[in-house]
Amino acid sequence: MPHITVKHFPRELTQEQKQALAEELSDVVKKHFGSKDASLSVALIPVEQDRWKEDVYDKEIKPALDTLAKKPGYSM
């Protein structure tokens, strides 16, 4: 039951753009994990730029640097 969460700076995306992004992300996960479409869920969570360090980097990225599949090209 993969769940994909994408945290990002706020963007003006239409429902169609959000749906296309969710479908493309799901396709990649299905390809690599052999998941069924019905088992996948996708969350798109906007985070204000001035909150990124405190809400995302410090709480989720920094503590997991050793286990991240892809590390960011920045530090805070």
**10: annotated active-site residue:** no
How much is the pLDDT for 7?
A: 98
At 66 the pLDDT is: 97
Q: What is the pLDDT of residue 1?
A: 82
Q: Among residues 2, 10, 46, 63, which one is catalytic?
A: 2
Q: Where are the domains of the chain?
A: 3-49
pLDDT for 58: 98
How long, in residues, is the chain?
Answer: 76
Produce one character per residue of 51-76: b if its CB has 16 or more CB atoms within 10 Å, e if not: ebeeebbeeebeeeeeeeeeeeeeee
Q: How confident is the prediction along the chain (76 residues), in pLDDT tens digits per residue?
A: 899 999 999 999 999 999 999 999 999 999 999 999 999 999 999 999 999 999 999 999 999 999 999 999 999 9
pLDDT at 6: 98
Q: Does domain 3-49 have CATH number 3.40.50.1820?
A: no
